[in-house]
Every structure is written in structure tokens, then in C-alpha cells.
Amino acid sequence: MTFKAMTSKEVTQKVFNKEKLFILDVRNEGDFQDWKIEGENFTYLNVPYFELLDGVEGIIDQIPSDREILVVCAKEGSSVFVADMLSDSGLEVSYLEGGMKAWSEYLEPVKVGDLKNGGEIYQFVRIGKGCLSYMAISNGEAAIIDATRMTDIYVDFAAKMDAQIKHVFDTHLHADHISGGRKTAEQTGASYWLPPKDAEEVTFDYKQLEEGKDVMIGNTKISIQPLYSPGHTIGSTSFVIDDTYLLTGDILFIDSIGRPDLAGKAEDWVADLHETLYNRYKELSDELIVLPAHFMIIDELNDNGSVSEKLGTLYARNHGLNIEDEAEFRRTVTENLPPQPNAYQEIRETNMGKINPDLDKQREMEIGPNRCAVR
Amino acid sequence: MEAAKVLDAKGLACPMPIVKTKKAINELESGQILEIHATDKGAKNDLAAWAKSTGNELLQSTEEDGVFKFWLKKA
């Protein structure tokens, strides 16, 4: 039998389509437990490759014959090694091209809706890490929100859509992933906007995001309204785009809410978070479509792979928006928090421009899920 | 620490550092020490986990200028 490569794009389609897939993950147990490829109908076996150096006979009877088999490792090498042995044993298998490294960096663009006069808004789903970034396009001009460091993807996409990137925004200083905002702005000549309260220590020039200072793209003037919404960070700013979409950054997710502790200030910021979620957002239209900067679990994906929901629906269903007692809210978002994202302090310093790690180091810093939410 | 053998696995990517380590340790006597040099970052966790699963003892590991060194005592 032969074995072949499966790309992150192909795996992403299987996630979106809820297909069956058997994943033999040959990374060590700690890495597998920390972070793996999630799919509603995916099943798993984790056996480190170094336990298979003498052959795969010991695990052959644990591999199903009724579904596709994908061997996964960190960077590809070990999965090829194991796939080769499985194939010699008569199985038809694939390995994940580029391993978890490629999986972490893969972005799938999904159209989430139309804007006035032919404009469109796209969500870039970073399926491996749960990060969501956005591009709004109108009459040949584009704005990007919460760009990842894989900036070529946005630049190429905009070129394909015949749009010039004019504005790049970050809703806040990110702690879970390295922002591609500054790099995208440098590559394209766009303006880079940050909330000033999150940017006090940054080492580069930026434009200050302020409520009331709306930004327009396209001849037909799609408005991008900043809305100050602190809590995850002190500067956290949401956007209302075209009076239809509410980009919440890391304040409000589909099935969870933001955590206030990643800059070490949970106690200080919990009141801001409460004010934003229970008062500021409540004043907005229930019909706004919430587009968050993350998803945490695969159940938050819609059938087309996008992540979005009406604000009114979230007020009815999201547990984090329905904690009556403020003291209980405080406990929920300050106690028993999930582990912090990998290397979050170094990631914050990178996003401030204080340190400039090389690409390998950046990849290593971003290993793992985003962990920006509290359920 | 007196190593009976030094394995140069620098520049090799996963899984080769462990494959070579396993081969080299097979050629040693029980109680002898193998010194391994590697540059693949993944080798660090994997070698520790492999040592644990095989009963060989990881005595020491260092990192300097991007080179990881390990001293492994054969069970």
C-alpha cells in the first residue's frame, strides 16, 4: 500500500463537514493531551512514535478499517516514518503535511455576510488554534481586524479580491498569538490601529482607536465604529461594522466570555468586564451578529465553519451573560481559570515590539490552544 | 561524566535523533553512558519520555547555543 499527504485544508474540510476520521497522533502524551486536532466525528489513538521504532504490530488491531486514517506528529517527520510502516502492513493511511506546526498556522477564509453595495465580510478561521480574524471589503478597499502573523494570507486574499488593504486593527493587545497587524500594515502601507490603553508600552507608531472616531472603507462608506469595551484588557475595543456586525475581540465569545487575568490584573479588570457584558453590550441591538476573536470548542462552529451568532441569542444562551449575582460573576472569572496560554508574557512583549523572536521561536511560543475564555 | 560513546545527531529532524539514540544504546553494555548532541527542539521532551518508557536513565541535559546535550545511562 502507499501512503499520502493530507493537507491542513483537507482536514479543515473534514472538520467543517463533520466527517469521520481516525487520528493516530504519534507525539508524546503530554503534547497530545495539551492540544490536538478536534473534530466532532474524529476518533483518536495516541502512541508516541518512539514506542513504534521496532514496528507497528502492537497497535495494528487498534486501527479501524471503516474510516480514513491520519497520522499526525509535531512537524511531519515522525508521522511519515509511522505512516510508512503502517502502509507496509497493508493499511491505506495519510500523514498530516507539515504536522501540527502547519495545522497551527492554517487559516480558512469563510464568508460571513454581505455589506452594503456589494461589500463583503470574511472570517479567517485559524482552526488549529481557535483564533478568528476578519477582513471587510468594500469597493476595492479592505480593513483587517485581529490579523495573525501569517500576513501573506491576507495580502494574497485582498489581491485576489482586487482590494487594497487600507486599515489594520487589533481589538486589544493579544496574549495568545502574535499579531500580524503591524507587519501587514508595513507590507501594504495601511494604517495600524490599536487601543491606546493597551499600547502604552509599545515601541512603534500606531493610530489611536477611540470611540467616536469612525473609520470608513470604500466609496460607499462602510463604517467601522470603535466601541470601548474593557475587561479582557483595559483597552479592549469592539467594532460595529456596517451597523450589522459586532466584532467583540476577546470580550464575548459564542459559548464563553473573556478572561480578565492575562495581564496579571484580574481583580482590577473584572468590574470593567462586568460593565461591558452586562451594560454596554446590552444597550446594543439584539440583531447585531457577534463575530468574536476566538472559539474555544469545535461545537461553536456553524455548519459552514464560521463562528457567529446574534447578540440577542447570546444573551439568552451564553452562561457568562446570565450570572445574576455580581459576586458570583467575580468568582467565575477570577477563580478556577484554565491554564494561561503558552508563553503569554513573551507573546505580549512581542506584540508590543519589545522583543523580536525569529520565526521558529514564534511558532514555538504559539504552540497549543488559545485559552482566552472562561466558560 | 565519562561517556562510553558520543552520538552526533545535530541537524537531524524528528524521528531520527531517537532512532539513532536507540541504535547507539543497543550497542552499549548496561550501566554505560551515551552522550547525545542534537539540535531538534522536539528531541528534548521526546528523549526524556523515551528514556522513561524504556527504563534507560536520563542523567543530565544541557542546552547551549542551540545544541542540546543529553547523558543517558543504559538500563
pLDDT digits (tens, 9 = 90+) for B4-23: 999 999 999 989 999 999 99
pLDDT at B55: 93
Per-residue pLDDT at A63 exceeds 80: yes
For domain A107-374, give the CATH number.
Answer: 3.60.15.10
pLDDT tens digits, residue range A257-297? 999 888 777 788 899 999 999 999 999 999 999 999 999 88
CB contact under 8 A, A364 and B41: yes
A30/B53 CB distance under 8 A: no
Residue in B with minimal Cα distance to A27: B46
| Residues of A annotated as part of the active site | 73
Q: What mean pLDDT do residues A168-190 have?
A: 96
For A84-119, write each residue's pLDDT tens digit. Answer: 999 999 999 999 999 999 999 999 999 999 998 889
Contact residues for A283 (Cβ-Cβ < 8 A; gap 6+):
none
Residue B14 is nearest to which of A53, A77, A360, comparing CB atoms?
A77
Q: Tell if the CB–CB gap between A51 and B42 is shorter than 8 Å.
A: no
Of the candidates A28, A53, A73, the beta carbon closest to that of B49 is on A28
What is residue A218's predicted lDDT score, i.e. its pLDDT? 86
Kindly list the residues from chain B whose CB atom is less than 8 angstroms away from the CB atom of residue A98. Answer: none
Question: Which whole number is the average pLDDT over A76-84?
Answer: 96
The active-site residue out of B6, B8, B11, B14 is: B14
The pLDDT, as a whole number, for residue A348 is: 95
Query: In this model, does residue A126 exceed pLDDT 70?
Result: yes
pLDDT for res A369? 80
Task: Match domain A3-103 to its CATH number in 3.40.50.880, 3.40.250.10, 1.10.1740.10, 3.40.630.10.
Answer: 3.40.250.10
CATH of B5-73, picked from 3.30.110.40, 3.30.40.230, 3.50.50.60, 3.40.640.10, is 3.30.110.40
Q: From residue A165, how far is each of A142, A179, A184, A205 by CA, in Å?
A: 5, 16, 9, 18
Nearest CA in chain B to A29: B49
B51 is annotated as an active-site residue? no
How many CB contacts within 8 angstroms connect chain A with chain B? 43
Amino acid symbol at A248: T
Closest CA–CA distance from residue B33 to any residue of chain A (Å): 20
Burial per residue of B13-50, b for 16 or more beta-carbon CB atoms within 10 angstroms, e otherwise: bbbbbbbbbbebbeebeeeebbbbbbebbbbeebbbbb
Subunit contact A48:B53, Cβ cutoff 8 A: yes
Domain ranges of chain A: 3-103, 107-374
CB distance B45–A73 less than 8 Å? no
| Mean pLDDT, chain A, whole residue set | 93
SS3 B57: strand
- Residues of B engaging A, defined by a Cβ cutoff of 8 Å: 13-16, 18-19, 22, 41-42, 45-46, 49-50, 53
Tell me the pLDDT band of A221, cut-offs 50, 70 and 90: low
Q: Where are the domains of chain B?
A: 5-73
| pLDDT of res. A295 | 93
Q: What pLDDT does residue A1 have? A: 66
Name the residue with cell 492575562: A262
What is the nearest CA distance from B45 to chain A, expressed in angstroms?
A: 8
Q: What is the pLDDT of residue A261?
A: 83
Same fold, A3-103 and A107-374: no
A-chain residue closest to B46, CA distance: A28
Measured between CA atoms, how close is A185 to chain B, in angstroms? 32
Calpha distance A350→A16 (Å, rounded) = 32
Of B13, B15, B41, the CB nearest to A49: B15
The answer to whether the CB atoms of A51 and B53 lie below 8 A apart is yes
Core vs surface per residue A186-207: b (16+ CB within 10 A) or e:
eebebebbbbebbbeebeeebb
pLDDT at A220: 59
Report the residue of chain B nearest A50, measured CA to CA.
B50
* Mean pLDDT (whole number) for B45-62: 92
CA atoms within 13 A on the CB side of A92: 5
For chain A, give the secondary structure using H, E and C.
CCEEEECHHHHHHHHHCCCCEEEEECCCHHHHHHCCCCCCCEEEEECCHHHCCCCCCCCHHHCCCCCCEEEECCCCHHHHHHHHHHHHCCCCEEEECCHHHHHHHCCEEEEEEECHHHCEEEEEEECCCCEEEEEEEECCEEEEECCECCHHHHHHHHHHCCCEEEEEECCCCCCCCCECHHHHHHHHCCEEEECHHHCCCCCCCCEECCCCCCEEECCCCEEEEEEECCCCCCCCEEEEECCCEEEEECCECCCCEECCCCCCCHHHHHHHHHHHHHHHHHHCCCCCEEEECECCCHHHCCCCCCCCEEHHHHHHHCHHHCCCCHHHHHHHHHCCCCCCCCCHHHHHHHHCCCCCCCHHHHHHHCCCCCCCEEC
From A30, A78, A360, residue closest to B15, measured CB to CB:
A78
Cβ within 8 Å, pair B14-A73? yes
CA distance A321 to A248: 14
A358 falls in which pLDDT band (50, 70, 90)? very high
Q: Mean pLDDT throughout A356-362?
A: 93
- CB–CB of B15 and A30 under 8 A? no
String of DSSP letters for B4-36 = SEEEEETTPPTTHHHHHHHHHHHTSPTT-EEEE
User: Between A29, A50, A360, which is nearest B18 by CB?
Assistant: A50
**B55: helix, coil or strand?**
coil
Enumerate chain A positions whose Cβ falls within 8 A of a Cβ in B. Answer: 28-31, 48-51, 53, 73-75, 77-78, 81, 360, 364
